[in-house]
Structure 1
Amino acid sequence: MKKITFAIIVLLALSTSPVIAETKLVDDIAAYQVALNEVQPGDTILLKNGEWADFEILFEALGTADKPIRLAAQTPGKVFITGQSNLRLAGEYLEVSGLVFKNGYTPTSSVIAFRRDEQHVANNSRVTATVIDGFNNPERYENESWVMLYGKHNRFDHNHLVGKSTRGVTLAVRLNSAASQQNHHRIDHNYFGPRPILGSNGGETLRIGTSHYSLTESNTVVENNYFDRCDGELEIISNKAGGNKFIGNVFYQSRGTLTMRHGNDTLVEKNVFLGNGADHTGGIRVINKRQTVRNNYLQDLKGYRFGGALVVMNGVPNSKINRYHQVEDSVIENNTFVNSDHIQIAAGSDFERTAVPVRTGFKNNLIYVESEQDPFTIYDDVSGITWENNLINTAVDQRLADGFVVRQINPAAAANGLQYPKGEDGSTQTYGVSRDLTVLDKSQTGVDWYPKLTQKPRFDHGATHQVRPGLDTLATAARNASDGDVLLLSEGEYQISRIIHLDKAITVQAQAPGNVTIRYERAALFELGEGGSLKLDGVRISGSAAPDSAGNSVVRTQRRSMLNNYELVVQNSEVVDLNVNHSFNFLTVAKGTFAQRIRLANSRFSNVTGAILGLDHEYEDFGIYNAEYVTIDNVVFDTIDGDVVDYYRGGTDESTFGPHFTMTQSTLNKVGTGKRNKSASSVLLHGVQVAHLQDNKVIESAPITINHTVGEPVTKLIDNRFVATPKTQIRELYSDQIDTAELRGNVYQSGE
């Protein structure tokens, strides 16, 4: 009996003795799987330094609060997950750190997902100190998200995400099952690096919820994150669930707004928006019920309409769950606006959005505008907003006047770098943000072992290479050049027998402008591939040696989708004789390609059977387009069968700022009258959001056609002269309202 009792005591002692946590270093996928099958609470699996290709990581295990199970890099930043790879977490109390996802893309819909499948999610888990850099599907408009948060009580922190170029949210919180609702996630201290303009809807950097679950609470906290030039679309952050908090984040030179698109009871507090005067930089957009916007600082923001520094929307009466709910019972207080041009109230007012804001307070805010222009635009009845004890340095609309103190402000920078009224005394300390507001530094976010790159110029930052005339000397020089290099062409003639493929930005510049001629024998002279951009300066290009076949180009994009936005600049140059056959364009683009900027300046184009800029290859009316900014300045177009530009953005989506088109001081002579010109126009702008045509001369040409399709397009047609040219056509395609174009000083005459 005593022996049995002793044996039981020994067994009990063994069963209650502490289990020593293990660290297991694995060097291939098979070894990882073995380690995962054996892992116990408190253990750590280390991935050996190096490249792990085509690794679909399933990290499924059950840790405990005091003994989480960890998956980490042997050395943070030295484990590269490449190829078709991803990471899924499922279970309890898991932690992942130190990985770098680069040079590949996910074979599924996300790079990191806090679930194995719909039934198996991760709870109380964490991903930290991990990098995703340019891990994009090759197809630009393939919808994929980089990070998907499911489950409850998860944390995503101190991560570095940069270069998302495909459609889809950079980071999304999903609420599509009870297991992921009321989740109390924390998203903090992440570096959201530059996200280029997508050119369609679907380019949000962060989204919480979706329209379908927008009346459900998420209770997610988003704090102390740095959003650096996140330009994907109108909504940098799209809040679509209830009970969320956005605290202490910095938005640096990012186009768009923190948008409370759906969901109620949101707190937006202590955030700093620094626009640096960049185009379309915005602040906060308010929709729905019981929203609180307080103690936020907004400076040098230039966005307008839905992208303004502050936008308070109109709603739809009895709104469907996916439309616009009325602003009710909300407060906007103690915010500071410095040199931010547009505060939009009752924005979006139209035949559908007629529910004006009600029971909402705007109080103790400070507004300083150096230009002394009233920043407020009022679109509808604002009597449902209480305006109280706000300070401004310029007169405001009489409907708001009782709620403002107007006085000289004279702001000066304080220790935290923010602007406060100089010589502030007790009578003004109630206005604007608090003196102790802390501005998050970029270095406090992400990881310290992976660089946060500063923006460099696209062109002319590399070496200069002298190129001599001859057969394919230019092609050879372009092949050997590095990104940002300048190819300086000596006087003479250059014959090109092959297409010059560019995967870098180069400048082709004549040493003596006007004394360099380039002729080429293929269907295109230049083809822009991933990473390719081109600047032409002072050269003469002739299409006379091109093949005698239809559809040639001087410049074309690669025929498949491109992830990188390109730039094309032509200045001080001449392009002639693109007429060996019909439909010979200067630029031809493919679907799924996108130009950040196209600029033609101080140049001449003559004898062309096609179009100059054919930007019309996104034709499905999905709100996608081929270029953001097109600028033409002091250019002569003479005898062009097609149009100068066919610029097309279809559909009625309101999620983008572009396209933008400017044409100034240019001459169009006999343009657009060719029998194959389907647009029947010299310039066709369809769905272009910003158009400015001024001081141009149009002679014996097809009309300029401008089709307004969505939003409130800004169209200006000023001081242009039209000779033997039909009147410009401006049409509102989806509205019975009078067009919004500014028409001034234009002259139409029958002949010289």
Structure 2
Amino acid sequence: MQRRTFLIGTATGLALAAGPQLASAAPATSAATVDSLEALQAAIDRARPGSRIVLADGTYTVPTGRPLTIRNKRGTRHAPITIAARTPGGVVLNGEQSFVLQGSAHITLSGFSFRQRSTLDLPPDCSHIRLTRNDFQLADIEGLHWLMVRADDSEIDHNHFHGKSTLGIYLGIEGAGEAEMAQRVHVHRNHFSDHSFTGSNGGEPIRLGVSPRALSSAHAVVEYNLFERANGDPEAISVKSSDNTIRYNTVRDSVGGIVLRHGNRNRVEGNYLLNGTEGVRIYGDDHVIVNNHLAGLKGRALVIGSGSERDHLPGETPEARRGNDAPDRVLIAYNTLVNNQGTLSGESHRPHEPRDVTIADNLFVADTGELVAMANTVRFTWSGNLLWGAAPDGNIPAAGGTRIDPKLVPDRAGILRPAANSPAINAGTLRRPRITHDIDGQPRGRHRDVGADEYSRWTPRRGPLTRADVGPRAR
């Protein structure tokens, strides 16, 4: 939630002061194995498209002022330059910095245990940088952000980020200048765990943008990531940019939830938020929130926020941009909210109410609080929602839902799903836009069920993630 300047050692500029080295266009055909940082740097300097450089396992201290420099090295889509540990996690890199990149593309860094004391930065003059199967546990320094991605088409996958107790985020995605966003960043199959910062904000596992970049489209995809004990901020995934997709993630036993804090046209689909505190909170316009399962949350499961501003606009003051943009034209459909302390709620402490929101074909089940506790709303459309439990309906319009037992039964993972005789089956009312698949990846067909799960006798294609599904050793 809080914007912080990421920390990078002053040695970066010294390391990049020398002239460029241009990679040969001829692809390399064999791997080079090295056993020292000096030999690693020499191999990087000689690298061509297709080069694979392997560093022997061990603990290495990168000298202050002499980071491992990847300058003007350009692999290709089919022949990237790969720099890897001999075994995943087998190379530990200590020191002020590890790798410093400049003007490079199609570079893969794989299998390292990063323990450095400054931010690992993927700068905007690079592109197609992949970090895969690494372990991130940088120095636990106040205000230190661990990984900052500003390079277009970067891929962050199968990594483990863990063990931070101070202010600072695990992964930030920004861009060049003050307002741009890196394009098409793909974050998948990572494990984010054990962020225990106790402040009110500033310890997000993922922060996708900052308020000055809210109106910039990033087209990022954050999917199939597992968050456990993400307790450093109420926002485990904090979205502060536009046109992103947040899907198929699992947030378990965490304070943080998924928050569309700034930006427009984001899609939140098919996520599990289980046995934590916060759920999904929405600000901004034209979002789609579908097929999510929120269960056992001690806080508010789904919040349609209010705004200090009606809309964020180009040229507004920094103070206005930091404020909340009232939600307009948001679709909330086919979600399952079950056994949460708060189910669906609004906010009343800001002047601008949400408008033109559609809430259709959701399952609201709880025994505490009110199922619907909205504040001021304008032109809301309610249809096809099913409500059940000891909690009263609240202020949902009478025509917006039906009180009936949805007959939910737990599966092997404890996820409540409709039984074969559930009234949720084929009870969907939403016609446009068509939501073609459910949370499990199963087709919804012509007659759609209410809630996140479309009843089927077939084995689901996906479900809540476990540690076996993510991180350096996952398949």
TM-score in terms of structure 2 length: 0.81
Deviations 1:18-41 (A, max 9, x none): 754232222222222222221111
> What are the equivalent positions in structure 2 for 1:535-574 lying under 5 Å apart?
none
RCO higher in structure (CA 8 A, sep ≥6): 2
| Equivalent residue, structure 1, for 2:471 | 446
Conserved? CA contact 1:314–1:357, under 8 Å: yes
Deviations 1:453-509 (A, max 9, x none): xxxxxxxxxxxxxxxxxxxxxxxxxxxxxxxxxxxxxxxxxxxxxxxxxxxxxxxxx
> What are the equivalent positions in structure 2 for 1:121-520 lying under 5 Å apart?
121-133=125-137, 135-137=138-140, 139=141, 142-177=142-177, 181=181, 183-275=183-275, 278=276, 281-303=277-299, 308-318=300-310, 320-347=320-347, 349-350=348-349, 353-369=350-366, 371=367, 373-378=369-374, 380-394=375-389, 395-414=392-411, 417-422=414-419, 423-424=421-422, 426-428=425-427, 430-435=449-454, 436=460, 438-439=462-463, 440-448=465-473
Whole-angstrom CA distance in 1 between matches of 2:373 and 2:294: 17
Whole-angstrom CA distance in 1 between matches of 2:51 and 2:27: 10
Unaligned runs of 5+ in 2: 1-23, 313-319, 428-447, 455-459
Kindly indicate whether residue 126 of structure 2 is the aligned counterpart of residue 113 of structure 1: no
Conserved? CA contact 1:341–1:375, under 8 Å: no
State the Cα distance separating 1:46 from its structure 2 match.
1.5
Matching residue's letter, 1:35:
A
State the Cα distance separating 1:282 from its structure 2 match.
1.5
Query: Alignment partner of 1:145: what SS?
Result: coil
State the Cα distance separating 1:432 from its structure 2 match.
0.3
Instruction: List 4+ stretches of structure 1 deviating above 4 A.
Output: 16-20
Query: Alignment partner of 1:229: what SS?
Result: strand
State the Cα distance separating 1:328 from its structure 2 match.
0.4
Kindly indicate whether residue 90 of structure 2 is the aligned counterpart of residue 93 of structure 1: no
Kindly indicate whether residue 88 of structure 2 is the aligned counterpart of residue 76 of structure 1: yes
For the structure 1 residues 260 and 22, does the alpha-carbon distance in structure 2 shift closer, same or farther, using more than 3 Å as the test? Answer: same
Root-mean-square deviation (Å): 2.4
- Which residue of 30, 44, 48 corresponds with 1:40? 48
Deviations 1:374-430 (A, max 9, x none): 23333x312432111100114412453321100123320236642123322544462
State the Cα distance separating 1:234 from its structure 2 match.
1.3
Deviations 1:565-598 (A, max 9, x none): xxxxxxxxxxxxxxxxxxxxxxxxxxxxxxxxxx
Matching residue's letter, 1:391:
L
Matching residue's letter, 2:297:
L
- Which residue of 68, 85, 103 corresponds with 1:57? 68
Whole-angstrom CA distance in 2 between matches of 1:398 and 1:299: 21
State the Cα distance separating 1:193 from its structure 2 match.
1.5
Conserved? CA contact 1:356–1:384, under 8 Å: no
Query: Alignment partner of 2:77: what SS?
Result: coil
Whole-angstrom CA distance in 2 between matches of 1:405 and 1:313: 25
Conserved? CA contact 1:148–1:172, under 8 Å: yes
State the Cα distance separating 1:360 from its structure 2 match.
0.6
Conserved? CA contact 1:227–1:250, under 8 Å: yes
Whole-angstrom CA distance in 2 between matches of 1:165 and 1:88: 25
Conserved? CA contact 2:28–2:49, under 8 Å: no
State the Cα distance separating 1:368 from its structure 2 match.
1.4
State the Cα distance separating 1:346 from its structure 2 match.
2.9
Deviations 1:290-310 (A, max 9, x none): 01100000110011xxxx111
Conserved? CA contact 2:295–2:339, under 8 Å: yes
Matching residue's letter, 1:136:
A
Whole-angstrom CA distance in 2 between matches of 1:415 and 1:364: 25
Whole-angstrom CA distance in 2 between matches of 1:415 and 1:18: 53
Conserved? CA contact 2:195–2:230, under 8 Å: yes
- If you compute each CA radius of gyration, which structure gives the higher value, 1 or 2? 1
Paired-residue identity, %: 27
Q: Which has the higher strand share?
A: 1
Number of equivalences: 409
Larger CA deviation: 20-29 vs 72-81: 20-29
Query: Alignment partner of 2:321: what SS?
Result: coil
Deviations 1:703-743 (A, max 9, x none): xxxxxxxxxxxxxxxxxxxxxxxxxxxxxxxxxxxxxxxxx
For the structure 1 residues 17 and 47, does the alpha-carbon distance in structure 2 shift closer, same or farther, using more than 3 Å as the test? Answer: closer
Query: Alignment partner of 2:281: what SS?
Result: strand
Whole-angstrom CA distance in 2 between matches of 1:393 and 1:421: 13
Query: Alignment partner of 1:420: what SS?
Result: strand
For the structure 1 residues 196 and 404, does the alpha-carbon distance in structure 2 shift closer, same or farther, using more than 3 Å as the test? Answer: same
Conserved? CA contact 1:293–1:333, under 8 Å: yes
For the structure 1 residues 373 and 209, does the alpha-carbon distance in structure 2 shift closer, same or farther, using more than 3 Å as the test? Answer: closer
Larger CA deviation: 407-416 vs 239-248: 407-416
